[in-house]
Amino acid sequence: MKYLLDANIFIEAKNRYYSFEIAEGFWEWLALLADEQSFLTIKEVREEIINSYHDDQLEAWLKAFPLKQFIDTDLEIQANQRKIANYVLNHEVFSPENKYRFLEKADPWLIATAMTRGYTVITHESKVGEGTKKVKIPNICEVFGVDYTNLFEVMKAKKVKLKL
């Protein structure tokens, strides 16, 4: 199975449970899987993080990665992103500010890439109930038939052990 990582996977790991100071093995594991092409992300996720975290270890780590590890947008991905954007913009329940917040980030591109290439999205976002004004990755993934999961489920499935 191949996975695409949401920006929050990197950000949460760095800021909380897998900081560079205490969990080098986590970052080495991600790099190894990226080399094997099991884990990837998109250039929009890379740019979102780099533009938000200046002079930061995460920014430096991402910049050290070869650009080939970040998927480029092609015409098919663009077409799927338009479908997602149209769905979000025309959804009557989502609030206008939540629609634009979702569309200005890498999220619709991440889902469109997974949809186009058959990847599973890894995110820390949780599905929200019907009638919510928020636009969340799991909900949009379900609408478009894209698989999603969280990082901890993937780590369990891959039997990852981060030991001293």
CATH code: domain of residue 119: 3.40.50.1010
Total tally of structural domains belonging to the chain? 1
DSSP code string of 73-134: P-HHHHHHHHHHHHHHHH-SSS-HHHHHHHHHSSHHHHHHHHHHHTPEEE-S-----TT-S-
Q: What is this structure's pTM?
A: 0.92
> Quick one: pLDDT at residue 109?
98
Is the residue at 162 inside a domain? no
| CA–CA distance, 80 with 156 (Å, rounded to integer) | 31
Report whether pLDDT(152) > 80: yes
